[in-house]
A = this chain, B = another copy of it.
């Protein structure tokens, strides 16, 4: 089986390297010999051992009937979307690691793949090398998925870990991540939560069968997280984590959002550190499953891409059942109605008393031994919380310094399913 690799960046070079590293294992699993016939890149790679494979014109690949699988690892929407669409329309299967492409155009591309009876696979688009697309789609197929919660971005998890463990400020942790190559010169897509938003949108689309437009997903990044917040949270038994979360309601609407959360240290997600990712899936039969590993990087991501290529080889004429339909997004519920406890830190010129807080948040856990007045509020939706916190500010003259949600899925029925 002959394939083409579009893009020779980090992931693309990893795919080519892995195909040449473990050919015996790969070909045995595929049941056929897989050969890279072309690598598409605008740059020259004259020193590469694969220099004879490079082409600059996509049409060479598109018009070559020998190419059965196109691997798109360019990233971004343009020209990736056009290349993938044309490849599928030409009757080739496509494998991609491009989360932006899948999050934005997944429904359209899956429809073309279905119409053409070809595969469009994207295991690498979420969680890098961590198996997550197949497990949700196949292994948990007998379950109603109740919730998904994930640390989906290694860069932000590395930054938060440096803050929590080594006392770095956000700015210093970001610089450190950039020096190590974990964060890009322009880190916005990571630290603003955009990357996590794309990934949680893909998981929601997959788990619920309708396309979730990432633009409809409320997204907060970690730029507002202060070092002192991570320290107070740690002392109170929590880690601060950027999570993408999905929670299914009884009326089949979905809460879905990306934001920093305080995660109780007894929940497995709290212990996920550095550049690692983890995804916690709650199914009505299986209970909690957690998938953990390297969410990015050259060979981990290539591992997932090549696994998809192997699956294409095994399903040349039998499409994998992987599909979600287009949607207007009307099943996405207002995230502000999702109830959470919230971590709050206050500054004030005068003393604020425990009873001041209790008068507004009667069930608050109040920490009086920190430099600031810190408490964990009652469980409230955002409208009610905002009303009460405004009242507290007005009553006491204090100002809210930080507010961070406390992670607790399936809180409405009071059941902590990880116990």
Q: Could you tell me which A residues sit within 8 Å of B by CB distance?
A: 14, 18-19, 21-22, 25-26, 28-31, 123, 129-131, 134-135, 138-144, 209, 268, 271, 283-294, 297, 299-300, 302-304, 306-307, 309-311, 314-315, 318, 321
7 tightest A-B CB contacts, nearest first: A131-B139, A142-B306, A129-B286, A285-B303, A289-B293, A290-B292, A131-B135
The answer to whether A303 touches B286, judged by C-beta atoms less than 8 angstroms apart, is yes
Residue of B nearest to A276 (CB): B288
A209→B24 CA distance, assembly (Å): 13
24 interchain pairs, CB-CB under 8 A: A22-B144, A22-B284, A29-B142, A29-B321, A123-B139, A129-B285, A131-B291, A134-B134, A134-B138, A134-B139, A139-B304, A139-B307, A140-B307, A142-B310, A268-B271, A286-B294, A286-B300, A286-B304, A287-B294, A288-B292, A289-B293, A290-B291, A290-B293, A314-B321
The answer to whether B29 touches A141, judged by C-beta atoms less than 8 angstroms apart, is yes
Please name all residues of chain B whose beta carbon is closer than 8 Å to the beta carbon of A143 when the two chains form the complex: 22, 25, 303
The answer, among B142, B307, B315, B318, for a CB contact under 8 Å with A141, is B307
The answer to whether B289 touches A302, judged by C-beta atoms less than 8 angstroms apart, is no
Please name all residues of chain B whose beta carbon is closer than 8 Å to the beta carbon of A297 when the two chains form the complex: 287
A26→B140 CA distance, assembly (Å): 10
Please name all residues of chain B whose beta carbon is closer than 8 Å to the beta carbon of A293 when the two chains form the complex: 286-290
Please name all residues of chain B whose beta carbon is closer than 8 Å to the beta carbon of A315 when the two chains form the complex: 318
The answer to whether B299 touches A286, judged by C-beta atoms less than 8 angstroms apart, is yes
The answer, among B22, B142, B294, B307, for a CB contact under 8 Å with A138, is B307
Please name all residues of chain B whose beta carbon is closer than 8 Å to the beta carbon of A290 when the two chains form the complex: 290-293
The answer, among B134, B141, B283, for a CB contact under 8 Å with A135, is B134
A141→B303 CA distance, assembly (Å): 8
The answer to whether B303 touches A142, judged by C-beta atoms less than 8 angstroms apart, is yes
Residue of B nearest to A317 (CB): B318
A144→B26 CA distance, assembly (Å): 9
